[in-house]
Chains A and B, each alone.
Chain A
Amino acid sequence: MRSRVPVGSGGGYAPGTVEPASVDDVFTPPEGAWERVSPALSRLRRTLLAGVGLVMLAVLVLVSLLVPLPGLLVAGAGVTVVAVVVLGWVAVGRSVRRWGYLERDQDLYITRGAWFRRLVVVPYGRMQYVDVQAGPLDRAFGIAEIRLHTASPGTSAHLPGLPAAEAARLRDRLTSLGEAQAAGL
């Protein structure tokens, strides 16, 4: 999981070159390059999206068979569903590619979001506890989500789509670093 995936359509930097040049560079890592989350996350989200789209299409077909509806309406609804799925497909790719994190000596940097961009800095010493969650779907794709809590509810630091082993490693590391550097309130 040490692969360095370059930023997708939204970003504009290549690993190694960290000179602030454009507005997008506001979300560059402080050093080196972001660790990216697993592509399994986009597979999971796209599977979900496709599943929901298929179910909706199936319902549409069923309804149009049972109830006489104007053909134009059915076609329009079908096209809308397909369009939403396609747009969602692209959006999932963009969003998943922009998740990234970086472990530093005293804090964890997390970045996310293609449309609403975020960069969160959580000092290890401020962490109250660290959660790892993996639902049945997550487990099927071999990924887990890690969640960091500080004394502030505004922190909102979480990382979905980590390979399960990496999530466990990160949790253990964060917990031990948090204990070592505990700064309380």
Chain B
Amino acid sequence: MNADEIDAQIRAIAAERRLPPSHLERWLAMDQPSRAAMLEIANTLRLRTGQLVAALDTLEEIAVREHVTVAAVLDHPEIRRISRRSGSAPSRASALLEQLRALRYPLLKEMQDDLRAEVSALNLPRGISLDLPKELGSDELTVSLRVRSGAELAHLLEALDRKRAGLTRIVEMLGGKREKNEI
């Protein structure tokens, strides 16, 4: 496909999906390999409007952050794998957005994984739940108890007390404390 054909297809897909004009404008403003790579993945995974918007936004941010083109981001092995693997288009589209988010927020993902592992390692009894702040947007850990009797309450409080060190560690991790805080 030449550049004109690519742009015509981009305009067609944008019209069909009712893509906001600002997003169409930004798509068309990309370098030609990026325009084409984006078009290919939009077609292959049959991205819906919201997915297309999210993908364009995230891709642009990654490209700016990493000083690379959108085509280079889409050439990432994990994204190529999602694009080529079997499975339904909607599930692959979700996987694409998840992978783009992991590329866009690498440290956040790593921290969330670490914290989830800490929570899981506590092995808390049923009736106690720990909720990490959404997207780690605060330092607040929510601890909930679900009980129906005094005995249950006593049992869960004892369990919490036994896990005090692990819980404190999670709160400190949310507060920016690292294993090695040496400079």
A and B: real partners? Answer: no
